[in-house]
Amino acid sequence: MFVRVQDNSGLVAFEKALLGDEAAFAELVRQHQAMVFSIALHFLRNRAVAEELAQDVFLHLFRKLKEIESPTHLTNWLRRVTSHRCIDQSRQQKYRPRVGLEAAREPSISPKHSDPMLQSMLDRLIQALPEKPRMVVILRYQEELEPGEIAEVMQIPVGTVKSILHRALAVLRGKMERGAHA
């Protein structure tokens, strides 16, 4: 039994997709593709790999759609699957040669007026973080999730999220300070 909310195209598309409507599933993909791609691109720093990973996430969603309970659950599920797939992909890439960084911005992020040199340095430092701290930083500052939401996405305790974030920020601050004094 579905509860219909008026003027909520996300809920309507979700309901129709659950019933097997392919156009409604395509609409769900359109509604969430920028978020999934943006997380992957920020984490992996490779447009082609991020696109492939996003396609894989949506294929997985197509197969598991009946297990999704609501539009909110869908968003959280997509973040969790994308996060785990990014970490897995990063671990696999350690055994492959590295591909150069791409400078292209993500479609879901509006350009900010800031120092491009500082932003470039910060991007490189974030990329140097280990997988879990890197994902926590991306979810916190790019996706603007609260620690409780990050804990849910990554399936780890909130205290762990806070300590990972605290340590990651301390590492980034230290490297930024050393870079400024070099």
Residue 167's domain comprises: 113-182
Number of domains in the chain: 2
87 and 2 co-located in one domain:
yes
83 and 119 co-located in one domain:
no
**Over the stretch 64-119, which tens digit does the pLDDT of each residue have?**
999 999 999 999 999 999 999 999 998 887 655 444 444 444 444 444 556 788 78
87 and 26 co-located in one domain:
yes
Where does the pLDDT of residue 1 fall: very low under 50, low under 70, confident under 90, or very high at 90 and above?
Answer: very low
Radius of gyration from C-alpha coordinates of the chain: 18
Q: Domain containing 177 — which CATH number?
A: 1.10.10.10
Site of tokens 């492959």: 96
Tokens of 69: 């309970």
- pLDDT value, residue 49: 94
Mean pLDDT of 164-175: 93
CA dihedral 182, 128, 159, 34 (to 10 degrees): 120
Q: Which among 96, 111, 126 is the end of a domain?
A: 111
- Is the pTM value of this prediction over 0.85? no
78 and 117 co-located in one domain:
no
Site of tokens 């609501």: 70
Higher pLDDT, 143 or 9: 143
134 and 78 co-located in one domain:
no
- pLDDT value, residue 34: 96
83 and 22 co-located in one domain:
yes
Q: Is the dihedral of CA 102, 36, 83, 87 positive or negative?
A: negative
- pLDDT value, residue 35: 96
- pLDDT value, residue 179: 73
Q: Domain containing 84 — which CATH number?
A: 1.10.1740.10
Tokens of 155: 């399936």
Query: Residue 137: is it exposed, middle or buried by C-beta count within 10 angstroms (0-12/13-18/19+)?
Result: buried
Helix (H, G, I), strand (E, B) or coil at 158: helix
Evaluate if residue 122 carries a pLDDT over 90: no
34 and 76 co-located in one domain:
yes
